[in-house]
Structure 1
Amino acid sequence: MVRVQRMLDACAELLDEGGYTNLSTTRIAERAGVAIGSVYQFFPDKRAITQALGLRYLDLFTARVRERLSAGGHSHWIQAADAIIDEYLEMHRTVPGFRSLHFGDVVDTRLLDSATENNRVIAARIRTLLTSVAGASESEDLDRAVTVAVEAADAVLKLAFRTEPDGDPRLIEETKILLRNYLGHHFG
């Protein structure tokens, strides 16, 4: 629905401008050009709209990573880690609101799914991409390795963006090396 998309776009813009603490349903309605009742028709509060935005980002990220992985160019699925990091960086730098919200960790560590931490939701999506597109074999070891890889990458990439607005290139490269070495140790 177009109205909902306008509200999500407005939420993204406002997050970039003032962060989550300055976000309100009233400001979202004003920016989207809709009545406040329209916001409440779909979202009970600002948390709900940021959750919808986080889920939209997760779907966009998944689709874009799937496209990158489908294009090939990887002799082994471990090399897909670089493509996943590159897509995250691209979204962080170009998608309105993503820099401020990421996948919702700024708001709530369980924003994407109330029963599961955000990074676990992301790890499950990445594991599915690795098995369905990049040729990895389903296993408990893969589940654990992807979970550790997501947690490690998340921590180092947050550091990279804390030190430089577009991400410290040296820390980004260290993230890729870390993931390739870690995954290569277990699966190479």
Structure 2
Amino acid sequence: MTVAQGRQASGRKGGAPLRRVPVQERSAARVQRMLDACAELVDELGYDGLSTTLLAERAGVAIGSVYQFFPDKRAVVQAVTVRNLETYLQHISRRFTDGGLRHWWDGVDAVIDEYVEMQRSTPGFRGLHFGDIVDTHLLDEHRDNNDVIVGKLRDVLVERFDLTADERLDFALTIAVETGDALIKLAFRRTPDGDPAVITEAKALIRQYLANYVTV
């Protein structure tokens, strides 16, 4: 989470509740270490095993530094989840604007591939996903996290592939996101790195489903 992101989140009722926005580089770096430590500990111990004391020890900061910026461990986990979600959306946006995707179904593959890659390589992501275990309304108090993702995906699909933006597309993307989320979780339950057969089927199923709704 950058300083600007922290400021944006702290001023948003559905965002990560930073007590104090780090304005100096040293403070911002300290917050980053806390988030990194939190992600590592969630992978190792799960949310229930996490404590602010362990977090402070892993991050190499005083326990008072944790409470200077976060009221409790839940707030730190929320901040990690916001960071993961923003990173995912940035990756998707980059893939969609790089020019390598020729058709909307290439975009479906890119969305799934980026999600799978974060599951494999991003600390804390597999245990937290997009905040399921903590708060389903991290970015918007009126919409859950997947609804926010649907809106972002709709915007980039419409812009990149000249799709028709309407309620049918929103509905179809909602079904696609929820289905893809469930199937990818299944893939990672089957094998530690995600069962390639399940991931391939997820892509095919979602492309086939969206083909009934997507119009250009």
User: TM-score, length-normalised on structure 2?
Assistant: 0.81
1:40 aligned residue: 67
Name 1:82's counterpart in structure 2. Answer: 109
Does structure 2 conserve the Cα–Cα contact (< 8 Å) formed by 1:12 and 1:98?
A: yes
Structure 2: give runs of 5+ residues left out of the alignment. Answer: 1-27
Q: How does 1:47-126 map to 2 (within 5 A)?
A: 47-126=74-153
User: In the TM superposition, what is the alpha-carbon distance from 1:4 to its structure 2 partner?
Assistant: 0.8
Does the 8 Å CA contact 1:70/1:134 hold for their aligned counterparts? Answer: no
Larger radius of gyration: 2
Q: Distance in 2 between matches of 1:59 and 1:87?
A: 12
Q: What is the Cα deviation at residue 73 of structure 1?
A: 3.0
Moved more, 135-144 or 3-12: 135-144
Rounded to whole Å, the distance in 1 between the matches of 2:58 and 2:213 is 49
Q: How does 1:161-176 map to 2 (within 5 A)?
A: 161-176=188-203
Q: CA deviation at 1:79?
A: 2.4
Report the Cα distance in structure 2 between the residues aligned to 1:134 and 1:54, rounded to whole angstroms. Answer: 29
1:124 shift after superposition: 2.0
Partners of 2:128 and 2:41 in 1: CA distance: 11
Contact 1:15 1:97 in 2 (8 A): yes
Is 1:23 matched with 2:76? Answer: no
Moved more, 112-121 or 21-30: 112-121
CA RMSD of superposed structures (Å): 1.6
